[in-house]
Structure 1
Amino acid sequence: MATSLSVSAGNFDDLAAARNAMTGDYVPSADEPYMGPEQLEFFRNLLVEWKQSILDISAGTLQNLQDGPIREPDLNDRASSETDWGIELRTRDRQRKLISKIDSALRRIDEGEYGYCEVTGEPIGLGRLIARPIATMTVEAQEAHERREKISRDD
């Protein structure tokens, strides 16, 4: 299923475009076997398209960095440009980490582990996976994990 996907640089976490692109022919349903072949292929395509859109955006950023002015004559313009590039580079770093999570999800699909909580082994659920295809835990396990993190940070 070849689809084109464009996700804006400032809103790469928004999967609405990816979901809209993927739901044309097939939508996972609770009426079919959980993580059956069609569902796995749907999520594989969603993840691959998402990763490709991030890589495309990153290539554009690299090109902009190469083409952009090295030094602005005005100090205020220079400070503004450096701030903009700093934000852009932090965003790209977040996207680099996101690509790692996407690759991990693709590996889980290949190994037959995708869609199941890494803590409890329970199904994560179609709704959560459609909203966040890189999820590794059920909502309950994630909430418990975050509570433990908060408690350890408070100590």
Structure 2
Amino acid sequence: MRSPLYALAGLALLAGLAAFLVIGPDRGGEEIQLRPDDPDEIALGRRVYDAECASCHGAGLQGQTDWQSPGTDGLMPAPPHDETGHTWHHPDAMLFALTRDGLGAVLGDPDYESGMPAFAGRLSDDEIRAALSFIKSTWPAEIRAAHDEINDRAAPQ
């Protein structure tokens, strides 16, 4: 019976994400802000997404089938990055840290197993920001506005 393990994993994920929102990522004081209206950023982001992300998250940002249930390997499938997924529910800084450093780092658990690799050392910070900016550029206006509000709430006061 694996459901208690999934419940605990879910609680750990929520606790880690809550801690992230309170403490924030260690970015050396650098402010991360996506640029979904910058054509050059979007063009670079599309190239990075196609090369590094689409194989798991889908060319149309649709994610993997049954992405909300663990796969046979016990890992969660890649979620969609379109408006049907949860990507837009997280502030820019969290999306950046998760992509650069991996989910285990964001959760504060270096042993956390995830199918999502950390891209630090593989992609530059500019490439990561561009890929995330490309993703945001595809969202409908109301989703982008909601994401902007999430960023505003997460910004240091």
Higher helix share: 1
**Bin for the TM-score computed over the shorter chain:** under 0.3
| TM-score using structure 2 length | 0.24
Structure ranking higher on relative contact order (CA contacts 8 Å, 6+ apart) = 2
Q: If you compute each CA radius of gyration, which structure gives the higher value, 1 or 2?
A: 1
